[in-house]
């Protein structure tokens, strides 16, 4: 089953930063097959795919508006010759979340929403305390997905 991991929260709570960190983690730890065009970590909102061990990972860092959330569709169309297995994206609550539910969850994708709280004037330690469990949980879920697909 295809997976969607959606980081959900308000603007400027670090959703895109975490998405970039997950993509970097994959690139640092796994042999990348094929091409990973479109991924430019210098861009504010990362967008693109990575192929690892026969699995296609899609990343959409933008999620502050419904149009941003819909960029996932653009990515799927752009890479129609590939089957995307795992999506890591972001959205706000409301219309973006509803769109993901109706266009992915209701269409058979396994969707997990991960809440990212906005911290007011956070210290580095507070940011790490919020982000580390999210990042480690995502890594664990992705590893389980990879292992499950390789065994099947």
Given the DSSP bridges, would you call strands 55-60 and 47-52 parallel, antiparallel or unpaired? antiparallel
> pLDDT tens digit string along 4-18?
999 999 988 999 999
**26's tokens:** 């994959």
- Residue 132 belongs to what H/E stretch? helix 124-151
- Bridge partners of 60, per DSSP, are 47, 89
In three-state secondary structure terms, 84 is coil
pTM of the entire structure? 0.90
- Bridge partners of 111, per DSSP, are 4
- Bridge partners of 49, per DSSP, are 58
What residue spans define the domains of the chain? 3-151
Domain topology for 3-151: Rossmann fold (3.40.50)
> pLDDT tens digit string along 41-95?
777 788 888 888 788 899 998 888 899 899 899 888 888 888 899 999 999 888 9
Q: Which residue is it, tokens 């959330």?
A: 69
């Amino acid at each position: 089953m295809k997976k969607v991991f959606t980081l959900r929260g308000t603007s400027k709570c670090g959703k895109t930063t975490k998405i970039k960190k997950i993509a970097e983690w994959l690139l640092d730890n796994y042999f990348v097959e094929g091409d990973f065009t479109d991924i430019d970590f210098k861009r504010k909102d990362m967008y693109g795919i990575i192929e690892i061990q026969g699995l296609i990972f899609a990343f959409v860092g933008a999620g502050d508006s419904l149009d941003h959330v819909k960029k996932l569709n653009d990515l799927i169309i752009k890479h129609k010759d590939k089957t995307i297995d795992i999506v890591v994206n972001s959205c706000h609550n409301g219309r973006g979340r509803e769109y993901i539910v109706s266009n992915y969850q209701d269409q058979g994708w396994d969707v997990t929403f991960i809440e990212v709280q906005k911290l007011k004037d956070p210290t580095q330690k507070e940011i790490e305390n919020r982000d580390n469990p999210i990042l480690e949980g995502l890594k664990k879920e992705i590893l389980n997905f990879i292992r499950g697909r390789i065994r099947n």
